[in-house]
């Protein structure tokens, strides 16, 4: 572990600290508990998404369909529960959304594993399919009258206190779900055969098969599991917004991928950690939420994020190029 200073996570952490110091020195409100809680709250749903994206990219693929899956799962699960017309417990609602997500994720997985189709294109296609189906056949109007248990879950706070300024800040229950997912996936990637299998799949899929991994199963697992998590994340979004909006999360996929890549997860597969992915997300969320605190208008956000992606990946690419002059990889 003597080489931890050479990891990309280390560099991202430094950038975040510098950014924190810079923003904090300009505006003390940045370090207020209200703002910090705000950052965490903004990371609850994207937190699960970056974990999903990280797993897929490590396995050597890319998935742009998770917002569609999340939206599909949460909206149809909410509809089903409303139709049932009795108080379904919260965990059952999450489970239902998860199972719907699992099913949709498996469609991705099966197409990728059995027809060997390029992952980006498959998930582009299914993304369009899922959201098209949802908006055409399930419904396109926001549901504001959530079932009571979900409404209740959304209102329950884990931590809640009133600051000196008299502002009440708190974190919703769902932060625990995200934390659990993060820990679970971190353990899975490091300490289980499936987790290591995902790394081997991204490193060299042919060899993975030769040493005895069932690569088709692994791919189906990755996309199915990611679908499941996306469903859960969708349900969290519903409880946090106190409404189920069928177009809510669409369009966030590229930003999430950007976060994961900034966190040092290599787009070519096989490399990346949960810590890195979370750090990448923290960087993006900070820019989105806090640039305005130092007087940079919010319409600069996109520009800054774009520049950050180019500089971040540029530095990484330059390092790789220097360490192995022979390697020429212009392919994604």
> Among residues 90, 261, 274, 291, which is the contact residue for another protein, using CB under 8 A?
261
Q: How far is the CB of 282 from another protein (least distance, A)?
A: 18
Q: State which residue, 233 or 257, has the beta carbon closest to another protein.
A: 257
CA distances from 14 to 24, 97, 220 (A): 15, 37, 36
> Among residues 7, 42, 152, 313, which is the contact residue for another protein, using CB under 8 A?
313
Strands 157-162 and 168-172: antiparallel
Cβ partners under 8 Å of residue 71, min gap 6:
130, 131, 134, 234, 246, 247, 248, 249, 250
Q: Of residues 145-184, which lie at the interface with another protein (CB under 8 A)?
A: none
> Among residues 16, 157, 203, 216, which is the contact residue for another protein, using CB under 8 A?
203
How far apart CA 283 and CA 296 sit, in angstroms, is: 16
DSSP 91-125: HHHHHHHHHHHHHHHHHHHHHHHHH---HHHHHHH
> Among residues 31, 91, 161, 300, which is the contact residue for another protein, using CB under 8 A?
300
The DSSP 8-state label assigned to residue 246 in this structure reads T
Q: In which residue are the tokens 């180019």 written?
A: 310
Q: Of residues 104-143, which lie at the interface with another protein (CB under 8 A)?
A: 111, 115-118, 120-122, 124-136, 140
Q: State which residue, 93 or 122, has the beta carbon closest to another protein.
A: 122
CB 231 within 8 A of CB 93: no
Q: Does residue 329 bind another protein (CB under 8 A)?
A: yes
How far apart CA 40 and CA 152 sit, in angstroms, is: 21
Task: Locate 252 and state its tokens.
Answer: 């966030």
- Binding to another protein by CB under 8 A, coded x per residue (else -) over 210-249, reads xxxx------------------------------------
Number of residues that bind another protein (CB under 8 A): 81
Q: How far is the CB of 32 from another protein (least distance, A)?
A: 28
Q: State which residue, 157 or 271, has the beta carbon closest to another protein.
A: 271
> Among residues 209, 216, 217, 294, which is the contact residue for another protein, using CB under 8 A?
209
């Amino acid at each position: 572990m003597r080489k931890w200073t050479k990891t990309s996570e280390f560099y991202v952490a430094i950038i975040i600290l510098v950014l924190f110091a810079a923003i904090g020195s300009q505006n003390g409100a940045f370090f207020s508990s209200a703002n910090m809680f705000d950052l965490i709250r903004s990371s609850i749903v994207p937190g699960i998404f970056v974990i999903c994206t990280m797993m897929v990219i490590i396995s050597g693929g890319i998935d742009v369909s998770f917002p569609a899956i999340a939206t599909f799962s949460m909206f149809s699960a909410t509809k089903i529960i409303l139709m049932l017309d009795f108080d379904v417990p919260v965990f059952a609602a999450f489970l239902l959304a998860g199972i719907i997500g699992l099913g949709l994720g498996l469609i991705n997985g099966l197409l990728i594993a059995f027809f060997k189709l390029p992952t980006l294109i498959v998930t582009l296609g299914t993304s369009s399919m899922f959201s098209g189906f949802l908006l055409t056949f399930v419904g396109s109007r926001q549901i504001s009258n959530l079932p009571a248990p979900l409404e209740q879950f959304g209102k329950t706070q884990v931590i809640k206190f009133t600051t000196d300024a008299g502002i009440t800040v708190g974190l919703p229950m769902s932060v625990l779900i995200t934390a659990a997912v993060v820990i679970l996936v971190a353990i899975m990637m490091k300490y289980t055969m499936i987790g290591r299998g995902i790394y081997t799949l991204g490193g060299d899929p042919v060899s993975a098969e030769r040493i005895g991994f069932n690569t088709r199963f692994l791919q189906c697992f990755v996309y199915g599991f990611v679908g499941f998590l996306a469903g859960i994340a969708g349900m969290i979004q519903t409880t946090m917004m106190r409404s189920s909006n069928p177009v809510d999360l669409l369009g966030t996929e590229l930003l999430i991928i950007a976060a994961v890549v900034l966190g040092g997860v290599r787009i070519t597969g096989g490399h990346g950690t949960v810590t890195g992915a979370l750090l990448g997300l923290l960087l993006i969320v900070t820019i989105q939420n806090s640039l305005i605190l130092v007087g940079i208008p919010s319409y600069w956000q996109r520009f800054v994020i774009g520049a950050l992606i180019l500089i971040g990946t540029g530095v990484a690419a330059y390092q790789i190029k220097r360490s192995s002059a022979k390697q020429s990889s212009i392919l994604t």
